[in-house]
Amino acid sequence: MHDRPTTTPAPGHDSEATSHVSAASPRGQAAAGLVGALAKAARAFTLYDPGNALVRQFIGDYRARVEAATAGGPVELEVKPFELLCGREVVYHEEDRERSLAFKLFRDGVRSLTFARAADGDELLRLLQILAVRFVGIRQAEDDVVTLLRKEEFRSISFTAVEGYTSEEQTADAGLRHRGGEPPPGFDTPFPKLPPPGPIAYVPIPDAALGALRGEEAPEALGVSGVRLAAELVAWAARGALPAAEVAQLCGELRDFLVADGQLALLASLAELPLRLAAGPLRDELLRGLADARLLEAVIGSLPAQGGALPPEALRLVPFVPAAAVMDRLAAEEAPGRRAALLAIVEERLPADADAVAAKLPGLGVELVRELLKLLARKAPDRADPVSLALLGHADASLQLEALRALAGSAQKLPAAPFVEALRSPVEAIRIAAAHALEHHGDTAAARAVADALTSRKGYSRDEAAALGRTLGALHAGAALRLFDGWLEHKKSLLGGLRGGEHDELLRWAAVAGLGVIPGAEAEQRLEAVAQWAGEELRRHVHGTVGRRRAEARRLAPDGGGAP
């Protein structure tokens, strides 16, 4: 979870609805502290992720304030539409209905709230939970503050309540007059055939028997119950008795609940429901409905802190985790173990999510891009090259470099133009990488561009010269030999190459490297001839080139290089 930026002050800062607070007595001030801390903690969840460190501070502050305020006895708060009063003192005032704790309590019907001395810590937390849920939740037809409070059966927090919002003309009997919406005549028939009656008696029931039943409906069993329900509804939908969209909606809601509860095994069971179906609209709708970024939280949550392999249940969920979400997470993840796990998830999502992966690449660091391009090349080869080609246009030189390296290794024949373009890059590493890529993807026209790069530019390094020479030799041996002869012959005339311009020296360097990749005895003879007159550095370059050339020949020989 990530902290969201906010302007909300830290706990010590009392900006929460205190502008009209009139509490002057120590008791009133303590109550104002309690209420302010409660309101702040409850509302914090609308501003921050629940895991945020500030939320923790707010919770701690709230508990401390309750403890301080109730040290001298119970604190009774009277609830007004926009204010909370302790005795006659206003201890909270906020008129914005969306922000106001007082309004939320009042609107739902709460008229007083009392904290007993030394209120139970667990109850305080559950009260905060109720208020926080009312602050953050929007689809809340099921409960309000009063029903939630009544469900909790607190012992150290008490309240009084009325009906809350009422329509002006509403009366208790209004509904009795409602007509319309009735079952058909003879509903609930035919009645099942029952056996003849037997005697009845009061029979005490062992608590163990009831306990098992209660366990099935306990909150902890909700996930199991929900997945069972989803399975049944999917089965109905498969028979055509239920629209796919209705079931998909429930499955999506259940998924979010299981994610929030961290119930990985049940999530995996839920995810398997569509996979067991035959191909068709229902399966497609369920798969679409279940795939969601929130699943990533559950998958990542299953990883040990130091990283490592995903547990089997998490692996079963990976097909439902959109790669875009993983990529976002990847960009922020610094722990190597988790990063590796995220990359493993991306790999699983390929080739299906190749476009999503590609779209997020420009925002990532070079190392990640390198890894991801490798993954793309392995799992989505047809998408890897276009992605890398697109990166060539990116402003970041390091990304261009990674893209060129990936493209150089592509098994597909690619157009030479982007690489020829890259030969004009101001960055030498990119020019060298482009030359390497052209070795595989260039043509005779590209050979001309390479030759131009060698002859028309000045001030490049020996490495670049060698790369360009090799590329030239590989692309057009005939033309290259003619050029190389010229470059090398010219130097012979200058007293064995002892003198000459820097550019000429670079051309000789390129020519030697280029001869190294041209097949045939003729090229090697030329190299040996150069060694006769070359200076020390060039001679070493020749020897190195010849050595590499022979090693390569041995490697490519049919017998694996055993022959001399």
**Count of residues binding other proteins (CB under 8 A)?**
112
DSSP code per residue over 85-125: EETTEEEEE---TTT-HHHHHHHHTEEEEEEPTT--HHHHH
In the complex with other proteins, which residue's Cβ is closer, 97 or 413? 97
Binding mask 499-538 for other proteins (x = CB under 8 A): ----------------------------------------
Q: Is cis: bond before 190, omega within 30 of 0?
A: yes
| Least separation in angstroms between CB 214 and other proteins | 6
Is residue 51 a contact residue for other proteins (CB under 8 A)?
yes
| Least separation in angstroms between CB 197 and other proteins | 3
User: 287: exposed, middle or buried (C-beta count within 10 Å: 0-12, 13-18, 19+)?
Assistant: middle
In the complex with other proteins, which residue's Cβ is closer, 33 or 109? 109
Is residue 168 a contact residue for other proteins (CB under 8 A)?
yes
| Least separation in angstroms between CB 352 and other proteins | 23
In the complex with other proteins, which residue's Cβ is closer, 205 or 411? 205
Q: Compute φ and ψ for 93, nearest 5 degrees.
A: -150, 120
In the complex with other proteins, which residue's Cβ is closer, 173 or 536? 173
Q: Is cis: bond before 351, omega within 30 of 0?
A: yes
In the complex with other proteins, which residue's Cβ is closer, 178 or 555? 178
| Least separation in angstroms between CB 315 and other proteins | 23
Residues with Cβ within 8 Å of residue 532, at least 6 apart in sequence: none
User: 401: exposed, middle or buried (C-beta count within 10 Å: 0-12, 13-18, 19+)?
Assistant: buried
Is residue 252 a contact residue for other proteins (CB under 8 A)?
yes
Collapse the DSSP code of 446 into the 3-class scheme (helix H, G, I; strand E, B; otherwise coil) and give the result: helix
Is residue 219 a contact residue for other proteins (CB under 8 A)?
yes
User: 410: exposed, middle or buried (C-beta count within 10 Å: 0-12, 13-18, 19+)?
Assistant: middle
| Least separation in angstroms between CB 451 and other proteins | 57
Please list every residue from 253 through 312 that binds other proteins, using CB under 8 A: 253-257, 259-262
Amino acid at 237: A
Binding mask 119-158 for other proteins (x = CB under 8 A): --x---x--xx--xx--xxxxxxxxx-xx--xx-x-----
Is residue 6 a contact residue for other proteins (CB under 8 A)?
no
Residues with Cβ within 8 Å of residue 144, at least 6 apart in sequence: 108, 109, 134, 164
In the complex with other proteins, which residue's Cβ is closer, 127 or 517? 127
Among residues 7, 12, 19, 216, the one that binds other proteins under rule CB under 8 A: 216
In the complex with other proteins, which residue's Cβ is closer, 96 or 559? 96
| Least separation in angstroms between CB 216 and other proteins | 5
**Residue among 443, 520, 504, 503 nearest 474 (CA):** 443
Is residue 232 a contact residue for other proteins (CB under 8 A)?
yes
Cα–Cα separations (whole angstroms), residue 348 to 37, 184, 315: 46, 54, 9
| Least separation in angstroms between CB 86 and other proteins | 16
Among residues 56, 413, 499, 550, the one that binds other proteins under rule CB under 8 A: 56
Instruction: For residue 268, give the H/E element and its range.
Output: helix 264-275
CA distance 406 to 400: 10
Binding mask 178-197 for other proteins (x = CB under 8 A): xxxxxxxxxxxxxxx-xxxx
CA distance 387 to 361: 9
Is residue 203 a contact residue for other proteins (CB under 8 A)?
yes
Q: Which stretch binds other proteins (CB under 8 A): 50-58, 301-309, 432-440, 543-551?
A: 50-58
Please list every residue from 57 through 116 that binds other proteins, using CB under 8 A: 59-60, 81, 96-98, 106-107, 109, 111
| Least separation in angstroms between CB 466 and other proteins | 54
| Least separation in angstroms between CB 329 and other proteins | 14
Q: Is 75 left (phi over 0), alpha (psi -120 to 50) or beta?
A: beta
DSSP code per residue over 313-355: HHHHHGGGS-HHHHHHHHHH---HHHHHHHHHHHHHHTTTTHH
> Is 330 in contact with 343 (CB distance < 8 Å)?
yes
